[in-house]
Amino acid sequence: MSQNTTVNRRIVLASRPKGAPVAENFRHEESSLPALADGQLLLRTVYLSLDPYMRGRMSDAPSYAPPVALDAVMTGGAVSRVVESKDANFKAGDWVVASSGWQDYATIDAKLVKKLEGAALEHPSLALGVLGMPGFTAFMGLLDIGEPKPGETVVVAAATGPVGSLVGQIAKIKGCKVVGIAGGEEKCRYAVEHFGFDECLDHREAHLDKRLQEACPRGIDVYFENVGGAVFDAVLPLLNTKARVPLCGVVSQYNAQGLPKGEDRLTLLTSTILKKRLRIQGFIIFDDYGHRYPEFAKQMSEWFSADKIKFREQIVQGLENAPESLIGLLEGKNFGKLVIQVGKETD
């Protein structure tokens, strides 16, 4: 299947998942191209971003963002080209990024659309990775909440993912020791050799807690939390006094149904926050830091041009593969920033 100029293929939420999403939670539909009003743009999707937060939008449990309605197009950021513009600031052919969803075409208010610039114009899919939302998440969470100082130890999981890999690289630029955690020996080797982590531990191997303690002989000063679960459990006892924990995701929990049985460790966590004087702070990148995007764009562009930032993408061809790819992402099957190529780059 590929894009044509008369049909809008789109993927809608057919039902809400119980636990891990399955193919039946999604439905492929076709419609005619949407009509265009003044001030709007018609966009053709080229690259669709897949990200862990999408799992949350599939549920109707209270969260920081409203859920995707049943039968509505799945939400998602995408890099697109302008097909038609009814706004003076854009013209056909422009490269843009917007939250335009899992579909070939979208109409959207020009005010909600950002033009690609700088390095992203030469490599447009990066506007969904290191030069976009995941990069911004890593940058602000690590620097504004984590406040890493030279010589401190920074730990981050999903170390080859777009957020984790950038957290590690920025922490190295700031003079920290960086220990990553990832799933599988290949990813771990990659984190060290390609992204420059000092060490990277395979969470699939036994005794993560002991191996993490050995890798962090001076304890942990910043834990950038994006996975939760067993990694958090291993990190908590190793956090130093006054450690900072920016928290942007708990992907290991997104498919959980109910709470695990056993001891209630809520008071263990609050007691630890007190005894170690921890700062744990959740953030949603554009809600909390939208006004500081230019600061990120400028600094990241400088680092990128100076070849200080590496990235890894996994580009899957075809909108029809988005559901299966998201299901795999939530199981850690991706390796690098997962992007669906929905259409050609050229018009």
Find the radius of gyration of the CA atoms of the chain.
20
144 class by beta-carbon count within 10 Å (0-12 exposed, 13-18 middle, 19+ buried): middle
H or E element that contains 45: strand 40-49
CB of 61 within 8 A of CB of 21? Answer: no
Which residue, 217 or 258, has its beta carbon nearer to a copy of itself?
258
Is residue 279 within the footprint of a copy of itself (CB under 8 A)? yes
Which residue, 39 or 237, has its beta carbon nearer to a copy of itself?
237
CB of 334 within 8 A of CB of 324? Answer: no
Is residue 34 within the footprint of a copy of itself (CB under 8 A)? no
Which residue, 62 or 346, has its beta carbon nearer to a copy of itself?
62
In the numeric block, which tokens belong to residue 50? 């897949």
Is residue 59 within the footprint of a copy of itself (CB under 8 A)? no
Task: List the one residue from 259, 291, 306, 307 that touches a copy of itself (CB under 8 A).
Answer: 259
Which residue, 227 or 300, has its beta carbon nearer to a copy of itself?
227
Is residue 282 within the footprint of a copy of itself (CB under 8 A)? yes
Is residue 274 within the footprint of a copy of itself (CB under 8 A)? yes
265: β partners: none
Task: List the one residue from 23, 64, 214, 305 that touches a copy of itself (CB under 8 A).
Answer: 64
Closest distance between a copy of itself and the C-beta of residue 10, in Å? 28
Is residue 228 within the footprint of a copy of itself (CB under 8 A)? yes
Amino acid at 18: K
- Return the SS3 of 41: strand
- Rounded to whole angstroms, the Cα distance separating 77 from 87 reads 21
Interacting residue ranges for a copy of itself, rule: CB under 8 A: 62-64, 225, 228-229, 232, 241-242, 247-250, 253, 256, 258-271, 273-284, 287-288
